[in-house]
Amino acid sequence: MNIGEIAKRAGVSRSTVSYALTGKRPVSEQTKRRIQAVVDELGYRPNAAARALKEGRTRTIGLVIPPAAQRLTDMQLGFVASVVDAAAGADLDVLLSPSGGEHDRSFERVVSGRRVDGVILMEIRLEDDRVARLRQTGLPFVGIGRTGRPEEMSWVDIDYETLLAKCVHHLADLGHRRLALVNRNAELVAAGYGPGHRAQAGFTRAVAERGLDGVRVCCADDAQAGQACVEQLLAEHPELTAIATINEAAIPGMYRALAQSGRTVPRDFSIAGVAVRHWAENLHPPLTAADIPADEMGARAVELLIQRIADPTTTHNHLLIAPPISLRSTTGPAPGHRHAL
């Protein structure tokens, strides 16, 4: 079923059908109705490939996610969901590309086969080949996350540095003197994963400012690793009374390790983190955490991308998010600490 067939049946030319459908030039009410009737009857929709070829745009955006093999965190899933939603709201389709490095086949297909009008990139490293490649092709793109030279691209990101500093200050205010930072998995951090490094920087800075003892560890992104990690932490540093973390996936395991060591949260031990609200609330006990507005971030990323697609020459936009910490049930006064009233 193509536009020629519709034209024939409606007794008009192909261009008239096209204009009747797009409204880009006036068509008489009567012929418009006749055309619409045929279109409805045959269920005609313009062929996307032909249109893309002619118009030079695909009405599709690419969403580059971490390789599916490694399970996405709840926050990442939140980004994906909100990007897909926001795109649908703007009548854009989303092409998924699970790819890590630059030479990924799927990534190359998407960016250099001109399959999309723009790209949203997740899980960005401080040095990121994909960013380099995208800049090279000139394809509009927006990061959820940013590289080490953030002026050079458009992005929305979480201000992990500030957030972790806030966590430390909050814990320090409660009298905690010895804390640990539980980071994401070691490979990711070693590979220059921005949030890992920025969280570390914020933690280190705040710990120094408050004159505290801070220990920093990496931990694989799952509950079992979280449990093992905290067990080891408690063995090596029994004086610890609090943890700040950006590793959501590991938290349930941390809870277990603390419980099994005989520590009650938050009476004996405090935890503060960064997570999506829904998830923090559903945890037991509910986690004191900076609530990341994943929905909003995805939606804003799509907005920025649409804007860049419309005019690729505009200056870059940046949105750095540092939501307040929501007090829930995992932080309390340090054991033996008389809180100043």
Partner DNA sequence: TTGTAGGCGTTATCAC
Partner DNA sequence: GTGATAACGCCTACAA
Binding residues for its own copies, rule: CB under 8 A, are 43, 45-50, 52-53, 58, 60, 63, 67-69, 71-72, 77, 81-82, 84-85, 88, 91, 93-98, 105-106, 108-110, 112-115, 136-137, 222-224, 252, 256, 278, 282, 284
Please provide residue 10's backbone torsions phi and psi, each rounded to the nearest 5 degrees. -90, -5
Nearer to DNA, 26 or 262 (CB): 26
Q: Of 33, 41, 42, 50, which lies in the binding site for DNA, with binding defined by CB under 7 A?
A: 50
By a kind-dependent CB cut-off of 5 to 8 A, residue 27 interacts, out of its own copies, DNA, none, with DNA
Structure tokens at 260: 């099994």
CB of 221 to its own copies, least distance (A): 11
Structure tokens at 276: 């999506």
By a kind-dependent CB cut-off of 5 to 8 A, residue 19 interacts, out of DNA, its own copies, none, with DNA
Beta strands in 50-177 (DSSP E): 60-65, 93-98, 118-122, 141-144, 154-158
CB of 94 to its own copies, least distance (A): 5
Bridging pattern class, strands 178-183 and 154-158: unpaired
Integer Cα distance of 99 and 101 in angstroms: 6
Structure tokens at 61: 């955006």
Beta strands in 283-327 (DSSP E): 288-292, 318-321, 325-326
Q: Of 9, 36, 51, 177, which lies in the binding site for DNA, with binding defined by CB under 7 A?
A: 51
| Beta-bridge partners for 220 | none
**Do 43 and 6 contact (CB within 8 A), yes or no?**
no
CB of 138 to DNA, least distance (A): 14
CB of 235 to its own copies, least distance (A): 20
By a kind-dependent CB cut-off of 5 to 8 A, residue 72 interacts, out of DNA, its own copies, none, with its own copies
CB of 137 to its own copies, least distance (A): 8
CA distances in angstroms from 199 to 97, 160, 167, 222, listed in the order given? 27, 5, 10, 19
The contact set with DNA (CB under 7 A) reads 2-4, 11-16, 18-19, 21-22, 24-28, 30-32, 44, 46-47, 50-51, 53-56
